[in-house]
Amino acid sequence: MNKKVLLFCLAVSLSFTGCKKLQALLHKHDKPVAEVPKVAPTPAPTPEAAPTPPPAPAINQHAAVMALCYHRFEDRPHDALAISPVDFEKQMQALKDSGFTVIPMQDYLAWRRGDKDIPAKSAIITIDDGYISGYDVAWPILKKFNYPFTMFVYIDYIGTGGKSITWDQLAEMRDAGVDIESHSYSHSNLKAPGNGVDKRTKERVAQDIKTLGVDGWMRKEIIESKKVIEKQLGIKVNVFAYPFGIYSPKAREMVKDAGYEAAFTVYGQRLGRSGPSDLIGRYAIEYNKPQIFQSALEMVGGGGGSAVTESAYATSQVAASSMITQPMEGETVSDPKPVIKANLATMGDIDPKSVEMRISGFGLVPAQYDAATKTVSYQVTQKLREAFHRHTRES
C-alpha cells in the first residue's frame, strides 16, 4: 500500500518536471476523450399574441321593426281572436310584397343590445295563448314562407284538451327552431286579478291570492310561468307578453326581477332600438278589422310612425295616468257602441292638430277634439263583441 502511494506522489511530481516516459506509462491505457460538440441554446418561446377580437357588427341605427300578434286560425272566424288561414296566408305574402324581412325574436333583441344587425325593414310574428291552430294551421303556412315566429303560451291552458296545444307539440316546435315564451300562468288581467278569464280560472286566481297574497299571485303569473316552461322544454325563456297587453308598475318590476329581456303589449307601433324593453308594442290582428294589418304595414302608431323614444313613452304613461276618461279605467259598460272620451286638461297647452286617439283593436280612429274643453272623443261605430275591452290614448 505504501509503494503505491509513493508512486502516485512521484508521478505527480514528475509530471511537472517534463518526464515524458512516466507520463506515457501513466496514460498508456487512457482512451481518447471525444470532443463534446457545442449545442446552441434553445431560444425562449415567443409568447403568443392575443387573438384579435372580431370587429363589432355594423348596426343600422335607423332600421325599424313592427310586431304582429295573432291568436287562433279558423276557417270561419266568429270573434276578434281568430283569422282564417286564407287571410293569414295573404298577410304573410303581403309582408314579403311590402319589403319586410321576418326576423326571429332573438335577432330583434340582439339588435337592441347592439350585438347583431337586422334588415332595415323587419317584422316579428307572434302567436298568443297556445291554441292548437298555431301548431297545425299557422305553422305549415309559416314554413312555406320560411318565416320564424314566437309562441307566447300560458301555463293553465297547455294540454287541457279541446283547442289547446300540448307540451309534446310545443317540444316538436322547439326542436324545429320555434321560439317559445311566456304569456303568464292563467292569462288573467295583471292589473285586475281575475278579470278577462272564465269563471273556473277566476276562482283559481282568487284562491291563489288568498293563499299567496296579491304579490305572490303575480309572482306566479310572471316568474313561475317562466320557470315551468324552462323546466318542461329545457329552454331559456327571456320574453314575456302581458295578457291583454295590460301591465302595472308592479308587473313591470317583476318582469325585470324574473330576468326577462323584453315584454310585449298590444299597442302597435314602429319599433326602434330605444324605448323601454318591457313595453314593446304589437299590432293585434283581427279578422274583421283589416285596417290594423294595414297600419302594421305602414308602421303607424307610437308617435305617428316614428321610432318611440324613452321620453315619448314617459309622456304617454303620464298622460294615461292623469287623464279623466269615459269610461273610467276598469269600468264595465253594457253599451256595445260607447262614446270614448279623454279630458286632456292636465297636459297644459295642446296643439289641436297633434291630438290623436287610438283604440285597441281599431287602431287610429277619427276622434274629435274640443279645444274649449280640451276633450277628445270618439263614437264607436262597430259593436264591441268581446267580453273584455280597454282603450289606449296618445296626445
**Residue 297 sits in the same domain as residue 356:** no
Nearest to residue 156, comparing CAs of 192, 191, 203, 86?
203
* This model's pTM is above 0.85: no
Higher per-residue confidence, 364 vs 107: 107
In a domain, 374, yes or no: yes
In a domain, 235, yes or no: yes
Q: Are 55 and 110 in contact (CB under 8 A)?
A: no
**Per-residue pLDDT tens digits for 159-172:** 999 999 999 999 99
**Residue 254 sits in the same domain as residue 374:** no
**Strand segments (E) across the chain:** 64-70, 72-73, 82-83, 101-102, 121-129, 150-153, 179-182, 239-241, 262-264, 283-284, 324-326, 339-343, 356-359, 363-365, 368-370, 375-379, 392-394
In a domain, 150, yes or no: yes
**Residue 123 sits in the same domain as residue 255:** yes
Number of Cβ atoms within 10 Å of the Cβ of 305: 13
E strand or H helix that includes residue 12: helix 2-15
Instruction: Look at the block and give the residue holding cell 289606449.
Output: 392
**Residue 225 sits in the same domain as residue 326:** no
**Per-residue pLDDT tens digits for 2-38:** 444 333 333 333 333 444 443 444 444 455 545 555 6
Instruction: Look at the block and give the residue holding cell 308592479.
Output: 250
Domain around 283: 64-308
**Residue 377 sits in the same domain as residue 238:** no
**Residue 218 sits in the same domain as residue 156:** yes
Q: Are strands 121-129 and 150-153 parallel, antiparallel or unpaired?
A: parallel
Which are the contacts of 334, defined by CB distance < 8 A and separation ≥ 6?
none
**Residue 107 sits in the same domain as residue 240:** yes
Domain limit, last residue, from 257, 280, 308: 308
**Residue 269 sits in the same domain as residue 163:** yes
Give the number of domains in the chain.
2
Q: Can you name the residues that pair with 358 across neighbouring β-strands?
A: 364, 392
Query: Is a pLDDT exceeding 90 seen at residue 279?
Result: yes
**Residue 272 sits in the same domain as residue 358:** no
**Residue 333 sits in the same domain as residue 372:** yes
Instruction: Look at the block and give the residue holding cell 280597454.
Output: 390
**Per-residue pLDDT tens digits for 81-97:** 899 999 999 999 999 99
**Residue 337 sits in the same domain as residue 301:** no
Higher per-residue confidence, 88 vs 383: 88
> CA-to-CA distance for 53 and 73, rounded, in angstroms?
47
| Interhelix angle 199-219/249-258, nearest 10 degrees | 60
**Residue 259 sits in the same domain as residue 389:** no
**pLDDT classification of 274: cutoffs 50, 70, 90:** confident
